[in-house]
A = this chain, B = another copy of it.
Amino acid sequence: MKTIDGGVTAAKGFKASSCQAEIKYKDRTDMAFVYSELPCVCAGTFTSNVVKAACVMWDKKIVESGGPMQAVVINSGIANACTGKEGFDACEATARAAEGALGIPYTSVAVASTGVIGMQLPVDKLVAGVEKMSTTLDGSLLAGTEASKAIMTTDTVNKEIAVSFEIAGKTVTLGGMSKGSGMIHPNMCTMLAFLTTDIAIDKTLLQEAVSDVVKDTFNMITVDGDTSTNDTLLCMANGLAENEKITEKNEDYITFKNALMFVCEYLAKKMAADGEGASKLFEAKVIGAKDKQDARVLSRAIVGSNLSKAAIYGCDANFGRFLCAMGYSGADFDQNDVELYFESAAGRLKVFDKGTPIVFDEDKALEIMKEDTVTVFVNMNEGEAMATAWGCDLTYDYVKINADYRS
Query: Which of B48, B84, B228, B306 interacts with A356 by CB under 8 Å?
Result: B84
A229 interface residue per 8 A CB criterion? yes
Bound complex: CA of A349 vs CA of B306, how far in Å? 31
Do the beta carbons of B119 and A321 come within 8 Å of each other?
Answer: no
Q: Are B305 and A225 in contact (CB under 8 A)?
A: yes
Is A335 at the interface (CB under 8 A from chain B)?
yes
Per the bound structure, the CA–CA distance linking A119 and B51 in Å amounts to 43
Q: Are A79 and B402 in contact (CB under 8 A)?
A: no
Report A85 CB to chain B, min CB distance, Å: 8
Answer yes or no: A112 CB below 8 A from chain B CBs.
no
- Contacts A82-B352, A82-B357 supplied; 14 other A-B pairs, CB < 8 Å: A48-B328, A50-B329, A117-B321, A118-B318, A118-B323, A226-B307, A306-B306, A306-B398, A313-B403, A314-B402, A314-B403, A316-B403, A316-B404, A394-B399
Q: Does A82 contact B320, Cβ atoms closer than 8 Å? A: yes
Collect the chain B residues with CB atoms within 8 Å of residue A307's CB: 182-183, 224, 226, 402
Chain B hits for A324, CB < 8 A: 49, 51, 81, 117, 183, 226-229
CB contact list, A328-361 vs B, under 8 A: 328-329, 331-333, 335-336, 351-352, 355-357
**A155-186 interface code vs B (CB 8 A; 1 in, 0 out):** 00000000000000000000000000011010
Residues B318 and A405 in contact, CB atoms below 8 Å apart: yes
Nearest opposing residue in chain B for A224, CB measure: B306
Which of B117, B224, B356 contacts A83, CB < 8 Å?
Answer: B356
Chain B: minimal CB distance from A57 (Å): 11
In the complex, A57 Cα to B335 Cα: how many Å? 13
Q: How far is the CA of A185 from the CA of B332 in the complex (A)?
A: 19
Chain B nearest Cβ from A404, distance in angstroms: 5
| A183 surroundings in chain B (CB, below 8 A) | 307, 321, 324
How many Å from the CB of A64 to the closest CB on chain B?
Answer: 19
A interface: dominant SS: loop
User: Measured between alpha carbons, how far is A318 from B311 in the docked complex, in Å?
Assistant: 29
Taking a contact as CB atoms under 8 Å apart, the answer to whether A399 and B399 are in contact is yes
Contact flags A198-227 to B (C-beta < 8 A → 1, else 0): 000000000000000000000000001111
Say yes or no for A319: interface residue by CB 8 A criterion.
yes
Name the CB-closest residue of B to A319: B118
A331 CA to B51 CA in the complex, in Å? 11
List residues of chain B with CB within 8 A of the CB of A185: 328
Ranked 10 nearest A-B pairs via Cβ: A117-B320, A314-B403, A51-B327, A310-B402, A118-B320, A227-B328, A49-B327, A84-B356, A84-B355, A118-B357
Q: Report the separation of the CA atoms of residues A234 and B225 in the bound assembly, to the nearest whole angstrom.
A: 32
Check if A107 is an interface residue, CB within 8 A of chain B: no
Q: Indicate if the CB atoms of B225 and A311 lie closer than 8 Å.
A: no
Offer 17 A-B interface pairs, CB within 8 angstroms, sorted by A.
A50-B326, A82-B319, A84-B357, A86-B356, A116-B318, A116-B320, A117-B323, A182-B307, A185-B328, A224-B307, A226-B306, A306-B398, A307-B402, A310-B403, A314-B404, A394-B399, A394-B402
Q: A50-B331, A328-B227 are in contact. Are A357 and B83 (CB under 8 A)?
A: yes
**Chain B residues with CB below 8 A from A182, complex form:** 307
A314 to chain B, nearest CB (A): 3
